[in-house]
Amino acid sequence: MLCKLAFRNVKRQIGNELIYFMTVAITVAFMFAIDQVLFNRTLYDYAVGRDLQGGMIGLIVLISAVVAFMLSYASAFMLRLRRREFGVYLTCGMTRADVLRLFLTENLLICIVALAVGMLFGLFLYQGLMGMVSMMLEAEFTAASYSVKGTWFTVVLVFLVFLVSCLLAARYLYRVTIHELVKGRQTRVKSVRFPFVWTVLTIGGAAGMAAAVIGMRSWVRAYLSGASTMLPLLERLFLLFGSLILFHFSLAHSLMALLLKRKRLRSRGTNTFLFRQLSASLHTNAAMMGMIACLLAIAVIGLDAVFMERLGAEARLAVFCPYDLHYIISYDQDDRSGRPGLEEAKEIVERYTAIEKTISYTFYADGGHALYDHTQFSGEGYAGIQDSYVAVSEFNALITPLGYDAVELSDSFLVVADVSAAAQFPDQGMTITLNGREYHMAGVRTDYPDFMFRYLYAVVPDEAVEGMAAQQYHEVYELKKNDFDAHALERDLSYAVEYGGRQSDSSDFIIKEYERREENARVAFLSVSAMFAAGVLLCMGMALLALKTLTGLAEDKERYRVLSLIGVGMRDLRRVLFRQTFFFFIFPLILPLVCGIPAAALCQEILRINHMELFVHAAGVTAFAVSGVILLLYLLYYSAAYLIAKRVVVWEQ
C-alpha cells in the first residue's frame, strides 16, 4: 500500500515538480559524466595519473557534499509544498513512522528515476566532455568506452547524496505538529527591524569585498616578486566570500526597507506591494541568498581562473620553450653514466623529425655571486649559488630569430632576470669586474624567454667570458614538423637516475611539443573539473531559487487574487509578478557576475607582469564570455520558473 501510494505520489510529482526533478537529473548527469572521464583508462594512462585522479575524487566528493546539503534544502521546500497532504495522512491515522517511510520511499523512487534519466543524459554528456578533452589534448576523438568502476562510483555517490539530503529534510516531518501541517505555520509579517544596522553591515560587506580585491592585487605583485606565499591569497579569498555572504545577507534585510522609506517611489502603482513581497521573501531567505551568491561567485571566479590558466599555459610555453627542442647540460653534474650522448640523442630526434636549425650557447661562471647579492636569493641557504654569464654574440644569435632586437654592449652588461629576482635589483650604478675589466650595468630585462632556467644571469661582451669556466652548455633546435609522437620522443630521450634512493626518469632535453601536450592535459582536466563544479553549483543555486519561488506560489496566488479584485489588470499582474520573481532570481547573481571583472583584471595583471601582453585582451574576452554563458543559463532557468509562476498565479485568477 505504502509503495503504491509512494509510486502514485512520485508519478504526480514528476509532472508537477519538473524543475526539482530535472535539477536532480542534470546533477546526476554531471556526476556520471565526470566520473566516467575520471575513470577512463586511456585518459588515466595518458594524462590523468594517480595524483590528479585523487585530487578530482576529492573535488567530486566535496561537490557531492554541497549537493547533498542543497538537495536537502530543496527537498524541504518540496516537503513544505505538500505539507497539507502529509497532514491529511496523519489525521487519517497514519503514524509518523509511516509518513517518514512514505517520504523516504518516494525519494528513493525519485532517486532511481533521476539516476536512470541522469545517467542517460550523462552517457551523451560524457561523450561531449570527452570530445572537449580530446580537442584540448589535440587527440582524435573516438566514441569513448564507459567505465564500470565510474558507473558504480556515481551510483554509490548519488545514493549517499540522496540519503543525506532525505535524512536532513525528514527532520522536519519528524518534528512538525499536525496542526502546522494542515493549517500552515502562522507566520506574522513584520517590518525589518534596525534597517540602519543592516545598511551599515551591507556597507561593511561591500568594503570587505573591496578590501579583499585590493588585497589580492597587492598579493599578486608580492607573490610574483617572491615576497609572499599562497596563505595570504587564501585569507583574502575567505575575506571575499565571507564579505559576499555578509553583503547579501544584510542587503536582503536593508534594501527593500530603504526603498519603502521613499514615499513617492512606493506610492506609484503596485510598488508598495512589490517592495513588501520582495522584502518578505528576501528577509526570509537572506541566509540562502548569501549562500547561493557565494557558490555562484566560486563558480564564476573558478571558471575565470581556469580559463585564464589555459591562456597562461600558452603564454608560459612561449616563455619556457621558445624553441622546438632545447638541450641543456650542466658541467657541475659529474655523473653522466647512462645518458645518451648529444650526437646519439640527435640521431634519436632525427628519427622523428628533421632538425632544421641549431643554435648553441654557453653559460660561464667565475665563482662569484655579486649579482645574486642584490636579490633575495643570497645569504643563508644560497651558499652554492653562482653568477652566470653569457656572451652577447651567442645571446643575440638566440634572441634575434624570436623577433627581439640585438643587444649592443660596450664596457657594460645587461642583467636578465625573472620577476622575483628583478624586484630588488638596482636599476643602475652597479659595476662588475670580469677578466680584470670593469663593466657598468646597462639595465635589467625581465621580458626575454627563459634560456637558462635560473633566477638571473648577465649578458656580457664576448671578451668578458674568455677563460671563464663553462657552467652550462645549451643547444636549441628548430624542427621541421611538430606532429610527431612527442611522448615517444620524450621516452626515447629519457634515462634512469637515482634520486633520493628512488629510480626516476630524467632527460637533458625539453621538447616543446611534449610540454605543450602535458600542459594541455593538465589544463583540460582542470577545465573539465571547473566546469563540472560550476555546472553543479549553478544548477543547484538556480534550482533552489526556482523551488523557493514555486513554494511561495500558494500564498502569492492568494495575494495576486486580492490585487486582481481591487482592480489590477492581468497585464499589470504579470508585470508585478515578473519584477518580483526576476529580482528574487537576479539578486544573488549580480555580484558574482561582477566578481568576474576583478578576477579578469587580476589575471590580466598577472599576464602583464609576466610580459604576456598578447593574452591580456583574450583574458578579458574569456571572463566576459564566462559571465555571459552563466547569465544565459540563469535566464533560461528563470524563464522556466517564471512561466510556471505565471500559469499558477496569474492565469488561474
Partner 1 sequence: MQTGNSSEEILRMEHVTKYYGNGEAAARALNDVSLTVKKGEFTAIMGASGSGKSTLLNVTATIDRVSCGEIYVEGRMISKCKERELSDFRRDRLGFIFQEYNLLDTLTVAENIKLPLNLKHAGVEQTEKELRRVAETLDIKELLDRFPGSLSGGQRQRAACARAIITAPALVLADEPTGALDSANSGALMRTFCMMNSRLQSTILMVTHDALVGSYAERVLFLKDGAIWNELRRGKREQKLFYREILTVMAALGGDTDVM
Q: Which is nearer to partner 1, 255 or 417 (CB)?
A: 255
Within a 13 Å sphere around the CA of 100, how many CA atoms are in the beta-carbon half? 15
578 neighbors 50 (Cβ within 8 angstroms) = no
Closest CB 291 distance from partner 1, rounded Å: 24
The CB-of-172 to partner 1 minimum distance in angstroms stands at 22
Closer of 191 and 360 to partner 1 (Cβ) = 191
List the one residue out of 38, 240, 41 whose CA is nearest residue 153: 38
Would you say 168 and 162 are in contact if contact means Cβ atoms under 8 Å apart? no
Reading the block at residue 532, the C-alpha cell is: 563540472
**Interface with partner 1 (CB under 8 A):** 186-191, 263-264, 267-273, 276-277, 279-280, 559, 561-572
Nine-digit cell string for 452: 637558462
Least CB distance from residue 189 to partner 1, whole Å? Answer: 5
In this complex, which beta carbon is closest to partner 1, that of residue 556 or of residue 605?
556
User: CB-wise, 221 or 574, nearer to partner 1?
Assistant: 574
Rounded CA-CA distance 188/267 in Å is 23
Minimum distance of partner 1 from residue 185's CB (angstroms)? 12
Q: Which is nearer to partner 1, 101 or 276 (CB)?
A: 276
Q: Least CB distance from residue 257 to partner 1, whole Å?
A: 13
Angle of CA points 207, 242, 274, to nearest 5°: 75
- Residue in 518, 540, 506 with CA at minimum distance from that of residue 340: 506
Considering the complex, what minimum distance in angstroms separates the CB of residue 572 from partner 1?
8
Q: Which is nearer to partner 1, 184 or 449 (CB)?
A: 184
CB of 648 to partner 1, least distance (A): 18
CA–CA separation, 481 and 30 (whole Å)? 39
- Between CA 22 and CA 27, with CA 25 as vertex, the angle to 5 degrees is 110
Task: Report the residue number, 391 or 650, with the smaller CB distance to partner 1.
Answer: 650
DSSP state, 266?
H
Grid coordinates belonging to 604:
590580466
- Provide, rounded to whole angstroms, the least separation between the CB of residue 651 and partner 1: 12
Q: Which is nearer to partner 1, 1 or 566 (CB)?
A: 566
What is the amino acid identity at position 167? Answer: L
Rounded to a whole number, what is the distance in angstroms from the first to the last CA of the chain? Answer: 37
Amino acid at residue number 643 = L
Rounded CA separation 632/628 (Å): 6
Determine contact, residues 443/414, Cβ cutoff 8 Å: yes
Greatest distance between any 2 Cα atoms in the chain = 105
